[in-house]
Amino acid sequence: MNTALAVCQSGGWAEDAATLTWHERLAERLAALTPPTRKDEFWRYSRLSACFAPERTGRGLDCPFPSPEPLAGEWIRLDQGRPVASHTRAWRLRPWSELDETTRARWRERLEPGEDFFALRNLVEADAVLLLELEKTADAPLQLHYRHGAGWVQPLVLVELAPGARGALVETFSSFGPSTQNGAAHFWLGEGAELTHGVFTAGDGQALLHRVRARLCAHARLDVQAFASTGAYQRLEWDVTLGKSSTLRLSGITQGVPGGSNDVALRIRHAAPGAATDVLWRGLVPAEAHSAVIGRILIEPAGQRTDAAMRLDHLLLADSAAADVKPELEIYADDVACGHGATLGRLDDEALFYLRSRGIPEAEARQLLIDAFLAPVLQRFTLAEVLRHVQSRLPRPDDAAA
């Protein structure tokens, strides 16, 4: 079914008996939990205090957003966690209140958050719940533009691709005032479905937590292309479970900003045979900035014939730059091909000297080395919407000399 909407009305959880009972159980679990601390493995390098500033504790606060920039193609805009406008023909959009009970029951089961504090809080306090469904191939990417500016903002987006469907989804984020966005996107890829997922963040002083939970059925493919930059604190998470002969390719760049902290957490689970994972993440860390990437690939006993690789590299551009990287493999199968690695380093002095000896100014020489460092990731970026944003944010020669 094709749908073209001019306006999407906001809506949270519908008040049917089954959803109310489920929601109450989640609220009880949330009340019994405490926020994570640095004693928790996946939060040990995080600046959690940035998420709980006193002025950001309110919910449902209004924010006077500036007039939005026009978006081309297929798009949805969410302000303060609620969908306010859209234009799409390929995707079907429905709030939770319009779903039938069978669909609601299916998603309640899929949304099990475990003991994750922020995932539970997002489910309990979601500003709106929006289901996006793709039944066939979509030629143009669907752009989701989130804007937040006041209080504690919690959008929740559910994405389902029918078996064999192919599409692309690009998430971008903008902030305009003292706020914390604790958002989530849940992907369900049917058998043989393919999704290209772009993420672009460039925060200017507000906190952002965004998690993606993806479940790949047999022969499905997820291709992630991410760019993260902030002057405050942000955390991006991917929690991916791979089915039989499914494929995950995850490519990312972190660009630090002085005074900012970028945090990336990757949890990848091979729960069936024949799946493949390829992770490549690179970070640029300038003076007074911090970047952290923790990645774990779990190979369960059923995950025979797994092919998995993870590479996490960071380039420190100043003495006061800091980064923490930790790739992990946890293997319980004996027929696998797995590898992981990480580096923290500075620009190569010998390479810099060589370039300068050939008459290249220092700033340009540094830029050439930075470009070479990022090139393996940029070559994997195929989404024009992400590349356009990335190219506008990457350092210029004058920046590289700083």
Tens of pLDDT, residues 201-251: 876 668 899 999 999 999 999 999 999 988 888 999 999 999 999 999 999
Sign of CA pseudo-dihedral 342, 36, 115, 56: negative
**Does residue 347 sit within a domain?**
yes
Q: What is the pLDDT of residue 60?
A: 58
Q: What is the pLDDT of residue 57?
A: 59
**Does residue 384 sit within a domain?**
yes
The neighbour count for residue 320, using CB atoms within 10 Å, is 13
Coil, strand or helix at 294: strand
Distance between CA atoms of residues 370 and 177, nearest Å: 32
Residues 136-146 as b/e (b if ≥16 CB within 10 A, e otherwise) read eebeebbbbbb
Q: What is the pLDDT of residue 268?
A: 98
**Following DSSP, what letter does each residue of 329-380 receive, concatenated?**
EEE--SSEEEEEEEEEE---HHHHHHHHHTT--HHHHHHHHHHHHHHHHHTT
Q: What total number of domains does the chain contain? A: 1
> Do residues 338 and 331 touch, judged by C-beta distance below 8 A?
yes
Residues 103-115 as b/e (b if ≥16 CB within 10 A, e otherwise) read bbeebbeebebee
**Does residue 357 sit within a domain?**
yes
Structural domain for 37, as ranges:
27-400
Candidates 46, 51, 75; CA nearest to 148 is 51
Q: Is residue 234 classed exposed, middle or buried when 0-12, 13-18 and 19+ CB atoms within 10 A define those classes?
A: buried
In DSSP terms, 175 is beta-bridged to 148
CA dihedral 387, 392, 394, 400 (to 10 degrees): 150
128-134 and 92-95 strand pairing:
antiparallel
Q: What is the pLDDT of residue 8?
A: 39
Alpha helices in 95-153 (DSSP H): 101-110, 117-125
Q: What is the pLDDT of residue 324?
A: 94
Distance between CA atoms of residues 38 and 44, nearest Å: 4
pTM exceeds 0.85 for this model? yes
**Does residue 11 sit within a domain?**
no
Candidates 198, 216, 223, 224; CA nearest to 389 is 198
**Does residue 6 sit within a domain?**
no
Q: Which regions in the chain score pLDDT beneath 70? A: 1-11, 52-61, 203-205, 395-402
Q: What is the pLDDT of residue 402?
A: 44
- Which amino acid is located at 333 in the chain? A
**Does residue 16 sit within a domain?**
no
The per-residue pLDDT for range 281-323, each reduced to its tens digit, is: 999 999 999 999 999 999 999 999 999 999 999 999 999 999 9
**Does residue 184 sit within a domain?**
yes
Distance between CA atoms of residues 223 and 133, nearest Å: 18
**Does residue 14 sit within a domain?**
no
